[in-house]
Amino acid sequence: MFIQKLYQFFFALVIVSVLLLAYNWHKDYKFDNNPLSQRLKQQIFEKKQQTRQLLRANFGFDLDVPLIVSEKLPSSLFGAAVFTQDEKIIIYLNKKRFKESSDYMIHHVIPHEYAHAVMFYLKDFSKDQSGHSIKWQNICKKLNGIKCDRFVDNHDIIIGKTSF
Ligand SMILES: [Zn+2]
């Protein structure tokens, strides 16, 4: 019977949907309650090494900035470059943003924030364009940055105290 087939079809569809929902819920739960996967940590490490290599090749110096994955960043920020009160340079990466866009975090955000870190290293604390000056833009591009727009305005440089 056609009606019966149709009924079976929709029944199966409902079962599959419920299973998919449960699977996604489980995946989200696991992500939120665990540190980043080893695979992602490795990708972050490799991207940092590549960025440092570009820094040495293009500017003739090295800068080893710790990249800290944190869940305490406001969700509007993908990452932030911080110059602490005791003059240390740290890059924070927003853990929540790795869930939906890990490629973006690695290929866009790391070079972008590293360029801010280099500006701090060069003692350039200009807040012109929220730190996205022409000088910053040139550094970002040399570090293989993709999001090196002079007109980005996401307040991702912090000088002084943070609660991350
Ligand atoms: Zn920025």
Cα 71 to ligand 1 centre (Å)? 19
Q: Give distance in angstroms: CA of 114 to centre of ligand 1.
A: 9
Please report the pLDDT score of residue 70 as a whole number.
95
Q: Are residues 10 and 85 in the same domain?
A: no
Residues 72 and 58 in one domain: yes
d(CA 50, ligand 1 centre) in Å: 19
Q: How far is the CA of 135 from the centre of ligand 1 (A)?
A: 12
Residue 43 CA to ligand 1 center (angstroms) comes to 21
Query: What is the β-pairing status of strands 67-70 and 89-94?
Result: parallel
Tell me how far the alpha carbon of residue 48 lies from the centroid of ligand 1, in angstroms.
17
Based on the domain organization, do 82 and 127 belong to the same domain?
yes
- Average pLDDT of 102-109? 96
Q: Nearest-CA neighbor of 31 among 126, 110, 96, 77?
A: 96
What phi, psi does 155 have (nearest 5°)? Answer: 50, 50
Q: What is the pLDDT of residues 58-80, one digit of tens each?
A: 999 999 999 999 999 998 999 99
Do 29 and 47 have their domain in common? no
Does position 153 have pLDDT exceeding 80, yes or no?
Answer: no
103 lies in the same domain as 121 = yes
Question: Are 92 and 58 members of one domain?
Answer: yes
pLDDT higher than 90, residue 127: no
Q: State the Cα torsion 112-117-122-128 to the nearest 10°.
A: 60
Return the pLDDT at 157: 93
pLDDT by residue (tens digit) across 131-147? 999 999 999 999 999 98
Distance 56 CA to ligand 1 centre (A): 21
Residues 2 and 45 in one domain: no
pLDDT, average across residues 73-93: 95
Say if residue 21 is in the same domain as residue 83. no
pLDDT tens figures, 10-43: 999 999 999 999 999 998 898 888 889 999 999 9
Name the one residue in this structure whose structure tokens are 């569809």.
Answer: 13
- 149 and 77 in one domain? yes
**Are 104 and 137 found together in one domain?**
yes
pLDDT for the residue 162: 86
In the chain, how many domains are there?
2
Range(s) of the domain holding residue 67? 38-161
Prediction pTM value? 0.86
Residue 1 has pLDDT above 80, yes or no: no
Structure letter (DSSP) for residue 80? E
Q: Is residue 29 located within the same domain as residue 46?
A: no
What is the CA(156)–ligand 1 centre distance, in A? 5
Q: How far does the centroid of ligand 1 lie from the alpha carbon of residue 55, in Å?
A: 18
Quote the ligand 1 centre to 152 CA distance (angstroms).
7
Residues 65 and 124 reside in one and the same domain: yes
Percentage above 70 pLDDT, the chain: 100
